């Protein structure tokens, strides 16, 4: 469930200064993220109190086994809601609150991460595309940080059309990544829920709770993508207006 989206919604590091429009975009994005994150944490805490017969690790191992996946290892990773699938090392990494816990929340998270392993096995197009974009996103993220630092020194993108366009391109890469993440996450949840229902690991009521938990987890990615698109649109508008003014 770890958010692997490179976000630059950072108050105090506004590349174009404290524009009222930009601050509204930031404010709405932060508010939406806060509300969704709060709901996710409440749902996870609530559903963590509902026991089932298998731990998160056992759920993951069973789902992988039933899909014929034998080269993916299930391991425990430190932290809370730090669960993720690593396609390079072929590991399903489950947080401590999922790996050893036998609850609806743990089962939903474990099955979701295994959904990514199934995507990898079946060469799911969107997962492959997201994986290929990771180096470009890491580079863009670093360059955006450098542009922010230049802004603190008074050499921000507001003083150079070329730097503004560089910001648009770099931020565009991270935005594309956050948008591509959406089908990957929603599909992994779909696979997880389908397997949980077919395997009978959870009763109907528990299945609905797992579905609700995964929905709110997916909404964190949705909010991040919408916020990123709104910011990109704002920067692109500024860059285009600057070009028109030059002409």
Strand partners of residue 73: 91
Nearest to 154 by CA among 3, 6, 17, 9: 17
Q: Is 113 a catalytic residue?
A: yes
- Determine how many CB atoms are found less than 10 A away from the CB of residue 83: 24
Alpha helix ranges (H) inside 48-124: 56-66, 96-99, 104-121
* Dihedral Cα 193, 199, 205, 206, nearest 10 deg: -70
Give dist(CA 39, CA 43) in Å, integer. Answer: 6
Nearest to 6 by CA among 246, 241, 227, 230: 227
Which token pair is 140?
């863009």
Phi, psi of 124 (to 5 degrees): -60, 125
Q: Which of 113, 197, 208, 246 is catalytic?
A: 113
Contacting residues for 128 by C-beta, under 8 A, at least 6 apart: none
List residues with catalytic annotation. 113
């Amino acid at each position: 469930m770890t958010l692997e989206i490179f976000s630059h919604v950072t108050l105090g590091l506004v590349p174009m200064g404290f524009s009222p429009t930009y601050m509204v975009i930031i404010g709405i994005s932060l508010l939406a993220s806060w509300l969704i994150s709060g709901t996710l944490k409440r749902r996870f805490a609530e559903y963590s109190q509902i026991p089932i017969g298998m731990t998160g690790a056992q759920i993951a191992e069973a789902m992988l086994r039933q899909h014929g996946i034998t080269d993916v290892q299930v391991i425990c990773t430190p932290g809370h809601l730090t669960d993720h699938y690593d396609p390079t090392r072929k590991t399903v990494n489950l947080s401590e609150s999922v790996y050893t816990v036998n609850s609806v929340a743990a089962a939903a998270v474990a099955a979701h991460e295994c959904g990514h392993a199934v995507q990898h096995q079946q060469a799911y197009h969107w997962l492959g595309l997201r994986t290929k974009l990771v180096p470009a996103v890491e580079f863009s993220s670093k360059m955006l940080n450098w542009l922010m630092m230049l802004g603190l020194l008074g050499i921000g993108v507001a003083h150079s059309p070329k730097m503004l366009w560089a910001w648009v391109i770099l931020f565009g890469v991270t935005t594309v990544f956050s948008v591509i993440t959406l089908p990957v996450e929603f599909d992994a949840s779909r696979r997880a829920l389908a397997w949980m229902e077919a395997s009978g690991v959870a009763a109907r009521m528990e299945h609905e709770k797992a579905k609700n938990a995964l929905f709110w987890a997916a909404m964190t990615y949705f909010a991040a993508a919408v916020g990123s698109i709104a910011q990109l649109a704002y920067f692109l508008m500024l860059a285009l207006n600057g070009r028109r003014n030059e002409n």
